[in-house]
Structure 1
Amino acid sequence: MDKSFSETYLNFERVNWQRMKEATVDTLYMTGFSLIAVLILGFLLGLLLYTLGRKKSAAYRVLYNVVSVISNVFRSTPFMILMVLIMPFTKAITGTIIEPVAALPALILSAAPFYARMVEIALREISGGVIEAANAMGATTWQIIYKVLIPESLPALVSGFTVTAVSMVGFTAMAGAIGAGGLGSLAWSEGFQLNNQTVTLMATIIILIIVFIIQGLGDFLTNKLDKR
């Protein structure tokens, strides 16, 4: 192996493994906590968009467009810009802008509308005849949601959530670049700024491992739930 390559990328003596462990925990904390919020908020927002979109009256269409536009604003704003933009809000509710907890508001506001759109699409793929049959049998709105919409769309919901989770791992790395901690912060501060390519490489490998695990679990669950 080329000596210069080994010295540049495989000089493990320059890696602070305790800091690497702490950064990994911070990344998992940011990803895991925000995913719980995104799962709940994203599903509810997606269900709201789906419900409003099925209504025919003008008032409901206006309300749908308002919710849709607000959702699109947060979904489409680049994550780094959104994180900087809401810093006053972040500091007001978390008390800081440089800890892992400071990344949570931006992560949730960015990913929840993204997942909501996937939820709306998944629900729209359900045959209208199935819903009409449930209505004809006297099912309530909540019974339709619980016994028809969720079971029928579950594979698509899991698949969409997997895509969202993978994206959020990347978002945590970007959040680290402006002080939120995690592997992204470590790769920037101790890797790039100190010209320690081994740290950058190891942080990248760990992020990839997290992504592969999430994607593998998501694909496994989707295949198990898909009865087609």
Structure 2
Amino acid sequence: MDFSTVRWEEIGKASIETLQILGASGLFTIIIGLPLGVLLFMTARSASIQSQVVYTILSFIVNILRSVPFIILIVALIPFTRSLVGTATGVLGVIPPLVIAAAPYFARLVETTLREVDRGVIEAAQAMGASTGQIVRRVLLPEALPGLLAGTTITIVTLVSYTAMAGMVGGGGLGTLAINYGYFRYQYEIMIISVVFMIILVQVLQMAGDRLVKWFTRK
């Protein structure tokens, strides 16, 4: 392998695209997944029939989206993605399927984390007359913050691997670069560099997430 022929400007461009994809998809995943996870938790613990129906429906949809392999999901969503953002390829085209795949996954992590909050704290807030919204904002989320940060880290790291799979359909970023040059053109040095960059990205994200979890756990 000859690394002297590597076009580093292409590597740099693909790296920036990967960061853009991660930033946008991660943001929308949290915006959608966090309320969805809270709703799953609140309806699961409610005794009312309406809440149980809502939980059953939401849980069913979440389970379906989580069970579909991402490479199949991204292809199946091409018409929807194209109608939503005008393209099914590149940085913009890969964000909607990434969010649809990751948001249910994150929602389950949120639900699981909230279940670990001491029920005594919740009951104490209810006894003091706190509303449901106040309980969520002032009790559940603060108490579960370290776990939520850990779940966010896991989700973002998972999105890194999803971006690589999106390269099979021209999703942009390091995944597309590795597929186009490393696989189709047999330029394995580019594939190796892309993989190394993604490994470094995952390590940085995991270390940052772990530090945040430790910081807020101490507080």
TM-score exceeds 0.5: yes
Give per-residue Cα distances to partners, 1:62-103, cap 9 Å, x unaligned: 221100000111111100000000100000011112211101
Task: Report the aligned-residue RMSD.
Answer: 1.1
Superposition deviation, residue 178 in structure 1: 1.1
**Alignment map for 1:72-151 (pairs within 5 Å):** 72-151=63-142
Q: Is the 8 A contact 1:14 1:196 kept in 2?
A: no
Superposition deviation, residue 166 in structure 1: 0.3
Query: What SS is found at the alignment partner of 1:177?
Result: helix
Letter in 2 for 1:189: N
Tell me the equivalent position of 2:159. Answer: 168
Tell me the equivalent position of 1:154. Answer: 145
Task: Choose which of 13, 22, 28 in structure 2 pairs with 1:31.
Answer: 22
Distance (Å, rounded) in 1 between the aligned partners of 2:133 and 2:19: 34
Q: Is the 8 A contact 1:75 1:110 kept in 2?
A: yes
Tell me the equivalent position of 2:13. Answer: 22
Q: Is 1:66 aligned to residue 57 of structure 2?
A: yes
Distance (Å, rounded) in 2 between the aligned partners of 1:64 and 1:56: 11
TM-score (norm 2): 0.97
Q: Is the 8 A contact 1:49 1:68 kept in 2?
A: yes
Distance (Å, rounded) in 2 between the aligned partners of 1:192 and 1:225: 43
Tell me the equivalent position of 1:41. Answer: 32
Q: Is 1:192 aligned to residue 172 of structure 2?
A: no
Distance (Å, rounded) in 2 between the aligned partners of 1:67 and 1:159: 23
Query: What SS is found at the alignment partner of 2:129?
Result: coil
Distance (Å, rounded) in 2 between the aligned partners of 1:73 and 1:180: 23
Distance (Å, rounded) in 2 between the aligned partners of 1:98 and 1:226: 40
Superposition deviation, residue 58 in structure 1: 2.5
Letter in 2 for 1:114: Y
Letter in 2 for 1:176: G
- Unaligned 5+ segments in structure 1 are 1-7
Letter in 1 for 2:42: T
Tell me the equivalent position of 2:170. Answer: 179
TM-score (norm 1): 0.93
Distance (Å, rounded) in 2 between the aligned partners of 1:141 and 1:149: 10
Task: Choose which of 211, 218, 223 in structure 1 pairs with 2:214.
Answer: 223
Letter in 1 for 2:57: V
Superposition deviation, residue 227 in structure 1: 3.5
Superposition deviation, residue 17 in structure 1: 0.7
Distance (Å, rounded) in 1 between the aligned partners of 2:195 and 2:168: 14
Identity across the alignment (%): 41
- Unaligned 5+ segments in structure 2 are none
Q: Which has the larger radius of gyration?
A: 1
Distance (Å, rounded) in 2 between the aligned partners of 1:179 and 1:202: 19
